[in-house]
Structure 1
Amino acid sequence: MSNPQTSQTQTYHAILDALNHLINVVAKLRSPEGGCPWDLAQTPQTLIPYVIEEAYEVVHAIRSEDQKAIVEELGDLLLQVVLQAQIAQDYGYFNLQEVAEGITEKLIRRHPHVFGDVAVENSEEVRQNWDKIKAEEKGETPEMAQLLSRKLERYNRTLPPLMASSKISVKAAKAGFEWKNIDGVWEKFNEELTEFKESLETDNKAHQQSELGDLLFTIINIARWYNLDASEALAGTNKRFIQRLSKMEKFANRPLTDYDLEDLEKLWQQAKKQLN
C-alpha cells in the first residue's frame, strides 16, 4: 500500500522539476549565445499585449470547462510570468525568486487567520482584514482606504475598461450616484447620444473620444439597471458575429471581398437564419 506522504513528496518534486525545466528553457531562449532572436528582442513593454491576451485565453478555457485547454492556457500565462522575470533578471532588476517570495509573504501576511492567531467568523471578515492589511502596506489610513475615489481608481487601474466601468457603476450607485428610476437613465442616454453626434461634427478627436466614452458608460448603466452583464453581452455578440461570418465564408464561392454590400447582406441573412 502506497504511503500518501511519499506520494505527495514525489508530486512536489515533480512539480519543482517541471518548473525548473521551464525556467531553464526560457533562460536559453533569452541567451545571447544561441538564443531566439524574437525572445531576445522582447522587453517588458512589448510583452504587455501577450500578458493580457493569455489572461483572457485562460478565462475562456475555464468557462469552456475544457480541462486540456485550461492546462495549455495556464501554461501560456505561466510562460509570461517566467519570461517577464527572466527579462528583469537580464536587466538586473529582480528575478523569479523575488517574485515567488514576494507573493508568498503577501499571502501569509494577509491571511493572519490561517498563519497567525486572528479569529474570523466568515468570508466577509476575511475580506475586511485583507483590505485593512492592504491599506497598511500602502501607508494608507483606514479613512483613506475607504474613500470611494480610491476604490474606483483601483478598478480603473487594474481591470479592462468595460469591466472597470461596470464595477465603477455599481459602486457609485451604492454610494448614492443613482437615478430615481429607469426613465432618468434613458434620458441620460439620449442626452449623451446627442452630444456624441454633435462632437462628430467637429474636428476635435479628443472631444469625440470623450463623448463616446460618456455614451458607453451610460449604456453600461442601462445594463446594470436591467441586471445585465455588459462584458458578457459584448462577448456573446463577438462570438455570434464570428460564427455568422464563418457561415458566410462556407456559403460563398469566392472571397468575401469580391462581393458587393447587397450580396454580403444576403449571405449574412442566410447565415443568421441557419444559426438561429
Structure 2
Amino acid sequence: MNPIETATKESILSALNDLIDVVARLRSPDGGCPWDLAQTQQTLIPYIIEEAYEVAAAIRRDNQEEIVEELGDYLLQVVLQSQIAAESGDFTLEEVAQGITDKLIRRHPHVFGDVEVKDASEVRKNWEEIKAKEKGYDPKQVEKLSQNLKKYTETLPPLYASLKISQKVAKLGFEWKDEQGVWDKFEEELSEFKASLSTNDVAHQQSELGDILFTLVNIARWYGFDPSEALQGTNERFVQRLSVMEDLAENSLSEYSLEELEMLWQTAKQRLKG
C-alpha cells in the first residue's frame, strides 16, 4: 500500500497548513517573533546548509526518529523562505510546490507520458535533455562537461565538488596513467605550496593549498575512497579522543603542557581502540 494512502492526504495537508500558519504568525509584525521578523532570505542561507547536513547525518545514523525531526527542521526552511518571499510579492509556497510537481511530470515522460526507457541511465539522459530544452539550451550542450562542472563549483561543498569534477574528467580519459602519476602530482603540488610559503603572496599560497587538496581528492578517488566520509570520520574520532582526554584530566586541558597533552592524547587513543 502506498504510504500516502495510509496517512491520508487530508491529515498531511492539515499538518502542513498548521506549519504554514505558525510560520506566518512568527513573521507577523503584530505580536510575531523578533528573531524571525529580522530574518531575510540571505540571512537564512547558513541555516539551510546546516539543516541539510543534519538531515544527512541522521540518515547515516539510520535513526528514524531523528530523521523525522531533522526533515521537519529542513521543511521549516522551505516554508520560511517562501513566507518571506510572499511578503515581498516575489513568490509563494504554492508556486514552489506546483513548480516542482510540474517539473517532475515533465522530466518523467516514461511515467506520465508514452516514452519508453530501458534503464536508469536512459532516464538520466532524457532528464538532462529535457532540462536543457527547458533552460533554452541546445540539447547537445548537455554533453559539454564544463557546463556541469561549473554547476558543481557553484552548488556543492568544495570537497564534494572536487570529487565530482575529478570523476567526470577521468571518464573523458583526462587521467593519470597509473597511481604513481597521481602521487607524483601530489609531491609536485606539495613542493609548490612549500615554496609559496616563503613569499608574502597570501592569494598564491591559498591557491597552492587548494591544488594540494584537489590532488588529495584525486588520490582518494584512485583508491575508491570518499574524501568527505574520510574527513568526517577523522573529525568524529578527534572529538571522541578529546572527550576522553577531558575525562582523564583532573584540570582544564588549557592547564597542561604540550607534552602532557600528547600523553593524554595517546592514552585516549589506546583506550578507544581497546
Q: 1:102 — aligned with what?
A: 99
How far residue 229 of structure 1 moved from its aligned partner, in angstroms, is: 1.1
How far residue 184 of structure 1 moved from its aligned partner, in angstroms, is: 1.3
How far residue 143 of structure 1 moved from its aligned partner, in angstroms, is: 2.2
The SS at the match of 1:257 is helix
Question: Judging changes above 3 Å, is the alpha-carbon distance between structure 1 residues 237 and 81 closer, same or farther for their aligned structure 2 residues?
Answer: same
Greater Cα shift, 139-148 or 189-198? 139-148
What is the distance in 2 between the residues matched to 1:33 and 1:142? 51
Q: 2:230 — aligned with what?
A: 233
What is the distance in 1 between the residues matched to 2:100 and 2:7? 24
2:35 aligned partner, one-letter code = W
Q: 1:11 — aligned with what?
A: 8
The SS at the match of 2:118 is coil
The SS at the match of 2:244 is helix
Q: 1:188 — aligned with what?
A: 185
Q: 1:20 — aligned with what?
A: 17
Task: Give matches, 1:58-137, under 5 Å.
Answer: 58-137=55-134
- Of 32, 36, 40, 2:37 maps to 40
- Of 149, 152, 156, 1:155 maps to 152
Write the deviation string for residues 226-267 of structure 1: whole angstroms up to 9, x where unpaired.
111111110100010010011111111122122221111111
Q: 2:253 — aligned with what?
A: 256
The SS at the match of 2:8 is helix
What is the distance in 2 between the residues matched to 1:113 and 1:10? 27
Greater Cα shift, 121-130 or 161-170? 121-130
What is the distance in 2 between the residues matched to 1:25 and 1:84? 14
What is the distance in 2 between the residues matched to 1:221 and 1:10? 46
What is the distance in 2 between the residues matched to 1:27 and 1:61? 28
Q: Identity of paired residues, percent?
A: 65
How far residue 177 of structure 1 moved from its aligned partner, in angstroms, is: 1.2
Give TM-score, length-normalised by structure 2: 0.96
What is the distance in 1 between the residues matched to 2:229 and 2:26? 37
How far residue 10 of structure 1 moved from its aligned partner, in angstroms, is: 6.4
2:210 aligned partner, one-letter code = G
2:255 aligned partner, one-letter code = D
The SS at the match of 1:99 is helix
How far residue 12 of structure 1 moved from its aligned partner, in angstroms, is: 1.1
How far residue 46 of structure 1 moved from its aligned partner, in angstroms, is: 1.0
What is the distance in 2 between the residues matched to 1:188 and 1:108? 46
Number of aligned pairs? 272
What is the distance in 2 between the residues matched to 1:205 and 1:45? 29
Greater Cα shift, 250-259 or 61-70? 250-259
- Of 168, 174, 179, 1:177 maps to 174
1:190 aligned partner, one-letter code = E
Give ranges in structure 2 of 5+ residues lacking alignment.
none
Q: 1:242 — aligned with what?
A: 239
Q: 2:139 — aligned with what?
A: 142
Give TM-score, length-normalised by structure 1: 0.95
